[in-house]
Structure 1
Amino acid sequence: MQRIEYTPRVAELLGRVRRRPAASWPWRPGEPVPEWLPIKQSWGWLFAPDGRVLTLVNPKDGIVSLPGGSLEAEDQGDPAAALAREAAEEAQAVIGPAHYLGYLYDRIGSANGGHECARVRMAAPLRAVGPSRPDPASGRHYRRLLVAPGLAVELLGWGAAGLRQARAAVQFATRALGVPELANEVIEELPEEGGPVFPS
């Protein structure tokens, strides 16, 4: 088994990670969102060429997330557009075309005023990241880590349902993006000045 490596700076950050309570939203892999069910959120597995994915850590509260968020009017109902916008705002990330993986059925609708909704999951290549800056919507200044997908699930606290999502994302990425099935296990913080990640 390959040893997981990371710098003391990353170790200090990981020591403050807090996991959100796991949600019990059923995962619907590959199923289109029914027309009657509103799509309220879009989140993405964004892959580097070595199979690692971008995760965001809020250093104030230790919460880890994938890039993504709520659909806004400017997205015109398109989860891929929402993901590209949110990735740019939260992580200053430039992504390639996003591939639909499936959705989570949120029957309680905490993202939709108490009405049931869909939370979409997508996968895309991570092309580049710009200089680090706060998210204009929330003011959060995320730390940007590249981690193996399985470790991302652990940091997110998503459990078995998260592993199923990760497998769907990896299957797409190995087939369509040419990334290795077994990702690099080094945990790497992206530099504050940014730079290219995935070749065009």
Structure 2
Amino acid sequence: MPKIVYGTSLRFTVNRLGWMTKDTAQKLDQNPRTDSRCSHDREAVSGVAVRTESRQRRRGLVQLAGEGGSPLGRRVRWVEAWPPPVGVDVRQVYGIVFDSVSGAVVVQDDNGRYNLPGGTPEPEDNADLVATLRREVHEESQLVLADWAPVGYQLVSENGRAPYVQVRYAALLEKAYPIAPDPSTGRAYGRVLLSPVDAAGLLGWGERGAAQLAAAAR
């Protein structure tokens, strides 16, 4: 079986075998009953769903405001280093979460708007970024993490405002519970599994997003 091989430093080696191929996806799209494990374009893997490439094309790739494109006066720079600068506010903690069986990345699906699981630090986290990561991925996407390591951060500058940081962790998925509403918003988010390359394309964050997914997969 394809596996993620990791050591104490959690430098991931991703085996890309085992993901649904483009040809297989097209066949399933044309005849969803050809494989009893699949429902149209989804296949169950470790409690998460795999969305095929053809389905993505039909729905279109949606850029998230503030990630893929930058509003006027907003500058975002990806930094593959750790830790973030001292004294700079951390406003976001996202996880690039790998499925341990397929090596694929979990992407959050909010009715066609795609994001990484994660969220905002809260006082209950006591300035512990890992606590924020574990809490948010569980609240939003019902994921339990087996292990994690920092990948880097985005340094965001806006006109007339102090810069802030959005951090990224690579993490290994231990378990995915059934989808449920986020307790803070009442909204339930879908989950899809994609290769790091396809996840970067679906997120629509451009070269900066591709660099983050590539760094997490190394």
Unaligned runs of 5+ in 2: 1-20, 29-39, 43-50
- Give the residue type in structure 1 aligned to 2:176: V
Structure-2 residue corresponding to 1:44? 95
Higher relative contact order (CA 8 A, sep 6+): 1
Matches within 5 A, 1:106-185: 106-108=156-158, 114-171=161-218
Structure-2 residue corresponding to 1:64? 114
Find out whether 1:93 has 2:148 as its counterpart.
Answer: no
- Between Structure 1 and Structure 2, how many residues are aligned? 165
CA contact (8 A) 2:95 2:170 kept: yes
Q: CA distance change for structure 1 residues 31 and 134 in 2, over 3 Å: closer, same or farther?
A: same
TM-score scaled by structure 2?
0.69
Q: CA distance change for structure 1 residues 72 and 101 in 2, over 3 Å: closer, same or farther?
A: same
Tell me how large the CA RMSD over aligned residues is: 2.3
Runs of 4+ in 1 over 3 A off after TM superposition: 6-10
TM-score scaled by structure 1?
0.75
Q: How far 1:107 sits from its partner (Å)? A: 1.2
CA contact (8 A) 1:123 1:169 kept: yes
TM-superposition CA deviations, 1:152-173 (whole Å, max 9, x none): 11111111111111111001xx
Q: Give the whole-Å Cα distance in 1 for the aligned partners of 2:211 and 2:167.
A: 14
What secondary structure sits across from 1:98 in the alignment? strand
TM-superposition CA deviations, 1:133-176 (whole Å, max 9, x none): 111112221111111111111111111111111111001xxxxx
Q: How far 1:79 sits from its partner (Å)? A: 1.5
Larger Rg: 2
User: Comparing both structures, which one devotes a greater share of its residues to strand?
Assistant: 2
TM-superposition CA deviations, 1:106-143 (whole Å, max 9, x none): 1129xxx9432110000110111112111111222111
Unaligned runs of 5+ in 1: 172-200
